[in-house]
Amino acid sequence: MTGTGRGTGATPQQGAFQVVSLAARPELTLPALELLAAGWPEFMRHDPTAERHQARLATELAGFQALLVDREKDELAALGVSIPFAWDGTLAGLPAGWDAVVEQGVGDLDEGRRPTALSALSVTVAPDRRGQGLSRLVVRGLKAAATRAGLGALLAPVRPSGKSAYPLTPMERYVRWARPDGAPFDPLAAHPLAARGRGARGLPSLHGDHRRGGHLGGLDGAGVP
């Protein structure tokens, strides 16, 4: 996932926040775009696939964009972006990463194919709210969106979040780095949601950047607290 804060595992005060869809709160489109710009690394702000289809995600697919709103301030605290797509349920049938699942989801929409799964594209927490466990509430919101639409799975293509600090290291080498205790070097691989996702359907959650032939990792209802 992109732009996710490295939370401390804190338990969020769920009652202080409300998860709504962008379809229900279209006036939050601009704050959502501003939050994405603040949370994403620079190179992701110029992704051609995102630029080409961003407007459709915010309009035709607005019901699949989960907004976490601070009830007291009526302020956007976090955002989950996702896209429905047609998946046959097999590992071989998964799109080859972030770009591919966006293109497939838009293609399915244009061709009238019924989606069967939801792919999270990013979970972004406002910089001043990171470390509070808010990403968990956003993931629950995405699960709820999938359930409402009758989709059978929630999956997520992931980008190793620390890779940008090592631009000269090939992705294939970076994703195999480990800490002295044997834990994955990249923070995202050690995230509790990623760890649970590996066990949910036997699909690994970390396969590398979408520009390096990465695959989607599985994250379904069994893997989210």
What mean pLDDT comes out for the span 117-133?
Answer: 92
> Is the per-residue pLDDT at 198 higher than 50?
no
Q: Are 188 and 194 in contact (CB under 8 A)?
A: yes
Rounded Cα gap, residues 21 and 143, in angstroms: 12
The separation between the first and the last C-alpha atoms of the chain, rounded to the nearest angstrom, is 18
Rounded Cα gap, residues 205 and 106, in angstroms: 23
**What is the CA angle 192-157-37, rounded to 5?**
90
CATH of the domain at 149: 3.40.630.30
The answer as to whether 4 is a domain residue is no
Cα separation values, 216 from 60, 104, 141, 154, 210, Å = 23, 13, 20, 11, 9
Averaged pLDDT score across all residues of the chain: 78
The answer as to whether 97 is a domain residue is yes
- Residue 200 pLDDT: 30
- Residue 176 pLDDT: 87
pLDDT band at 18 (very low <50, low <70, confident <90, very high): very high
Higher model confidence: residue 6 or residue 119?
A: 119
The answer as to whether 173 is a domain residue is no
- Residue 197 pLDDT: 41
For residue 18, what is the enclosing H or E element?
Answer: strand 17-21
pLDDT by residue (tens digit) across 36-54?
Answer: 888 776 666 667 877 788 8
The answer as to whether 52 is a domain residue is yes
pLDDT by residue (tens digit) across 60-100?
Answer: 999 999 999 999 999 999 999 999 999 999 989 999 888 89
- Residue 43 pLDDT: 60
The answer as to whether 1 is a domain residue is no
The answer as to whether 134 is a domain residue is yes
Cα separation values, 81 from 89, 173, 202, Å = 21, 29, 24
Higher model confidence: residue 8 or residue 222?
A: 8
Domains of the chain: total: 1
- Residue 109 pLDDT: 96
> Which single residue is written with the structure tokens 């490295």?
6
- Residue 57 pLDDT: 93
The answer as to whether 185 is a domain residue is no
- Residue 213 pLDDT: 33
Decide: helix, strand or coil at residue 83.
strand
> Is the per-residue pLDDT at 165 higher than 70?
yes
The answer as to whether 70 is a domain residue is yes
Q: Which residues constitute the domain of residue 137? A: 14-159
Edge-first strand order for the sheet with 66-70 is 17-21, 66-70, 75-85, 117-125, 154-156, 217-218
Q: Are 134 and 170 in contact (CB under 8 A)?
A: no
pLDDT band at 107 (very low <50, low <70, confident <90, very high): very high
Rounded Cα gap, residues 189 and 193, in angstroms: 9
